[in-house]
Amino acid sequence: MFEVVERDGLARVGVLETPHGRVSTPALLPVVNLNQLVIPPREMAERFGAEIVITNAYILGKEPRREDVLRGGVHRVLDFPGSVMTDSGAFQAHVYGEVEVTNAEVIDFQKAIGSDLGTMLDVFSEPKHDHDRAQADAEETIRRAREADALRGDMALVGAVQGGLHADLRERCAREVSRLGIAVAAIGGVVPLLEAYRFVDLVRVIVASKRGLDPSKPVHLFGAGHPLLFPLAALLGCDLFDSASYAKYARDGRMLFTDGTRRAAELRESGCACPVCSSHSMSEIAGDGGLLARHNLHVCFAAVREVRRAIAAGDLWELVERRARVHPALLDALRELRRHNDFLEEFEPLSRRRAMYYVGPETLHRPILHRFRMRLRERYAPPPAKGLLVLPEGDRPFSDRYGPVVERALTEADVHPLVKSLWGPVPLELDHVWPISQSVLPRAIDLEALEAAEVFFRDWAAGAGYAFGLLWEGEGTLEELRRRAPGGRSLDWNTARMRATADFQFGRGTADVLLRGRVAYVISKNTGKIRNVFVDGEHVLSLRAEDGYFTLKAAGARRLLKAFAPPRFRILVDPDAVPFHREGKNVFAKFVRDADPGIRPGDEALVVSPEDDLCAVAQAAMNRREMLAFKRGVAAYVRQGVAAPLSAPPR
């Protein structure tokens, strides 16, 4: 069983339970090859904290070790106290052309030796295989997955996803394999891509596979053992990596680093902080395969820990953007990500804890900023005005900076104020929402980003229907505005902010629903910002200082429920769970029957019974796809339970 503890987009920190203990993910599985043992598995557990290792069942199944391992079991033969995953020989088939074992035999063998996670024998698709050939192999992989599922008994099964570079095949294979009783889904056939630095293709393969995979299954990326890649692979939702590299590179005198591989003999110093490098000279290390392997393993384990840290902190994107500068092929992979924003966005949180850092033109295309611009176009309704007053980007929050200019312009001309920011156009009423309110930009911006911001701006402004837009460049602008849009008005900023934020957060038209009536609000003494919003005496919304978004209160939830038909905003739960939510208990994924496909992690949501009665107001922790897939974990944190109406109308 797999449970998610923390998440950041598709990436997650999780716990995988096996008969030999719990494994924290993302996890690195060192490959143990008993024929070339360099670090004993027990040392991996005791000195490196390894919770799981992987070894090859195909190799164990051959003489002279076969009888031994059948008698003693794989754990005893390896002398490893934690979990053991076994591989099947599919990679050997890729290397040697074929293997002398069938899928059924290798499954039986893995059961017999007590593997915690046994792998089916999939058919390795080469990147060069055309669609026909890859399809045939993917279909055979699906057939064998079904066979393995039928044979697995109690053994937790690793199902494989093949399909070469063909996105449709990857997705289909992933979907079919997901339907079976697999414990882990493994993306196979990627080693040739890794060896050739084809990281753009790697991104495409992982994303296509993830589109088809059950999100509740941990995903193993077979053969990805270089720490360079862990952040990117984890960002795309991979949870398990296996590394033979630590040993193979060591035999070849090479050292792994998060920024590449280096030949030990060419270094006078490694520049590494690991226990090996901190306490040995380079000449000792370079001459000792055991030290080299231990350095490599320290670096790999630290690299997965770093990924887990980044997921928990919500800054994995930053880590990926930094790591992309290690090699131009990784930069290409980073630039490829934007092409999958439709999928990545589904998993993005509403906001993150950290400020948004701009570190290159690629930052602009993060899925969360893609969403910002998309929602601006689709959800934000610009107030009626003749023209647009365009303010140049300045320090955030914009309204503090531009207050006086805007007040004067508004009272003398019929225009709406907007900042042309790098992230996208920012109507002044929205400048307190994350990440607009919390972002750090360099002073000098590269051309690509400026150009992209210009394009977003023009695109949005063209759709917004103003007669003209005028860049504020001093007093002359005011003159021009008066001439072109005579009139003017006085804007109640707090009202404008509430309305714009509501529409932007919940969808166009929701401000009318949530704020219809006599609106009153409380201003926070600390921040000077709106804190609580009351309509007709009821507490409808609270505005969060952290990210500038609303928390929905029961009265607000009732308004949305009444105005919008299912499934909008809803998480529909099992009737058995209803009383618990009414008492304020969280929504567990296994009790979710359906949900609004528009819900994103962090969104406010209405927990409803099958009769569409409101049971609770909650903050989603998953999107619909995840809520329906997971059998473990919290789908939504209930903020406020809602009691049953005293006399529920009969249905």
365 is an interface residue for a second copy by CB under 8 A: no
Distances from the Cα of 477 to the Cα of 249, 415, 462, 471, 474, angstroms: 65, 12, 21, 7, 6
Angle between helix axes 199-212 and 167-178 (nearest 10 degrees) is: 40
270 binds a second copy (CB under 8 A): yes
CA nearest neighbour of 345 among 599, 113, 530:
599
Euclidean distance between CA atoms 69 and 66, whole angstroms: 6
Of these, 10, 229, 272, 535, which contacts a second copy (CB under 8 A)?
272
Is 200 or 481 the residue whose CB approaches a second copy more closely? 200
Amino acid, single-letter form, for residue 382: P
Judged by CB under 8 A, which of 87, 239, 321, 503 binds a second copy?
321
Q: Report in angstroms how near the CB of residue 375 gets to a second copy at its nearest.
A: 24
- Residue 196 interacts with a second copy (CB under 8 A)? no
CA separation for the pair 642, 651 (Å, rounded): 20
Rounded Cα gap, residues 650 and 234, in angstroms: 49
Nearest CA to 402 among 438, 428, 421? 428
Stretch that binds a second copy, among 138-146, 365-373, 441-449, 575-583 (CB under 8 A): 441-449
Question: Does 531 participate in binding a second copy (rule CB under 8 A)?
Answer: no
Name 107's bridge partners: none
Candidate residues 392, 442, 476, 584; the one interacting with a second copy per rule CB under 8 A: 442
Task: Single out the segment in contact with a second copy by CB under 8 A; choices: 63-71, 91-99, 113-121, 313-321.
Answer: 313-321
360 interacts with a second copy by CB under 8 A: yes
CB of 441 to a second copy, least distance (A): 6
Q: How far is the CB of 367 from a second copy (least distance, A)?
A: 18
The sign of the torsion formed by the CA atoms of 524, 528, 532, 536 equals: positive
Residue span binding a second copy (CB under 8 A) among the ranges 308-316, 427-435, 525-533, 629-637: 308-316
Q: Which is nearer to a second copy, 303 or 578 (CB)?
A: 303
CB of 360 to a second copy, least distance (A): 6
329 binds a second copy (CB under 8 A): yes
CB-count exposure of residue 407 (10 Å: 0-12, 13-18, 19+): middle
How many residues comprise the chain? 651
If one asks whether residue 284 binds a second copy (CB under 8 A), the answer comes out as no
Is 395 a binder of a second copy (CB under 8 A)? Answer: no
10 Å CB burial of residue 612 (0-12, 13-18, 19+) is: middle
Does 448 bind a second copy (CB under 8 A)? Our answer is yes
Contact mark string toward a second copy, 223..262, x via CB under 8 A: ------------------------------------x--x
CB of 48 to a second copy, least distance (A): 8
Q: Specify the amino acid at residue 280.
A: H
Output the 3-class SS for 503-566.
HHHHCCCHHHHHCCCCEEEEECCCCCCEEEEEECCEEEEEECCCCCCEEECHHHHHHHHHHCCC
User: Is residue 328 a contact residue for a second copy (CB under 8 A)?
Assistant: yes
Stretch that binds a second copy, among 109-117, 332-340, 469-477, 635-643 (CB under 8 A): 332-340
Beta-carbon contacts of 246 under 8 Å, excluding residues fewer than 6 positions away, are: 30, 39, 225, 256, 293, 296, 297, 300
Classified as helix, coil or strand, 444 is: coil
* Contact flag: residue 440 with a second copy (CB under 8 A): yes
Would you count residue 434 as binding a second copy (CB under 8 A)? no
Query: Would you call the peptide bond into 328 cis, given omega within 30 degrees of 0 as the criterion?
Result: no
- Contact with a second copy (CB under 8 A) among 58, 358, 460, 591: 358
Give yes or no for residue 443 binding a second copy (CB under 8 A): yes
Task: Reply yes or no on whether 87 is catalytic.
Answer: yes
- At closest approach, how far in Å is the CB of 401 from a second copy? 18
Residue 641 phi, psi dihedral angles, 5° rounding: -80, 155
**Count of residues that bind a second copy according to CB under 8 A:** 58
Q: Which two tokens stand for residue 625?
A: 């796809």
- Among the listed ranges 25-33, 170-178, 305-313, 510-518, the one in contact with a second copy (CB under 8 A) is 305-313
DSSP states along 201-212 = HHHHHHHHHHHH
From CA 283, how far away is CA 289, in angstroms rounded?
Answer: 12
C-alpha distances in Å from residue 526, one per residue of 260, 343, 421, 427, 523: 48, 39, 27, 24, 9
Q: Is residue 274 part of the contact set for a second copy (CB under 8 A)?
A: yes
Strands (E) across 65-145 are located at 83-87, 117-119
Contact 219, 239 (CB under 8 A): yes
How do beta strands 519-523 and 530-535 pair? antiparallel
Query: Residue 34 or residue 267: which is nearer to a second copy going by CB?
Result: 267
Binding status of residue 322 toward a second copy by CB under 8 A = yes
Out of 169, 190, 193, 324, point to the residue binding a second copy (CB under 8 A).
324
In whole angstroms, how close is the CB of 465 to a second copy at the nearest point?
29
22 near a second copy, judged by CB under 8 A? no
Least distance CB 217 / a second copy (angstroms): 23
Work out whether 444 is an interface residue with a second copy (CB under 8 A).
yes
Rounded to whole angstroms, how far apart are CA atoms 233 and 220?
Answer: 10
Which distant-in-sequence residues (6+ apart) come within 8 Å of 451 by Cβ?
none
- What is the residue type of 333? A
Q: Cβ closer to a second copy: 242 or 321?
A: 321
- Of 36-95, binders to a second copy (CB under 8 A) are 48
Strands 538-543 and 530-535: antiparallel
Interface residue with a second copy, options 298, 370, 373, 624 (CB under 8 A): 298
Which lies closer to a second copy via its Cβ, residue 314 or residue 567? Answer: 314
- Measured between alpha carbons, how far apart are the two ends of the chain, in Å? 39
Please state, in angstroms and rounded to a whole number, the distance separating the CA atoms of residues 326 and 595: 41
Of the candidate residues 37, 150, 273, 520, the single one contacting a second copy (CB under 8 A): 273
Q: Which of 8, 68, 79, 87 is catalytic?
A: 87
CB of 186 to a second copy, least distance (A): 25
Residues annotated as catalytic are 87
Binding site for a second copy (CB under 8 A): 48, 200, 259, 262, 266-275, 277-279, 298-299, 301-303, 305-310, 312-313, 318-319, 321-322, 324-329, 331-332, 335-336, 357-361, 440-444, 446-448, 451
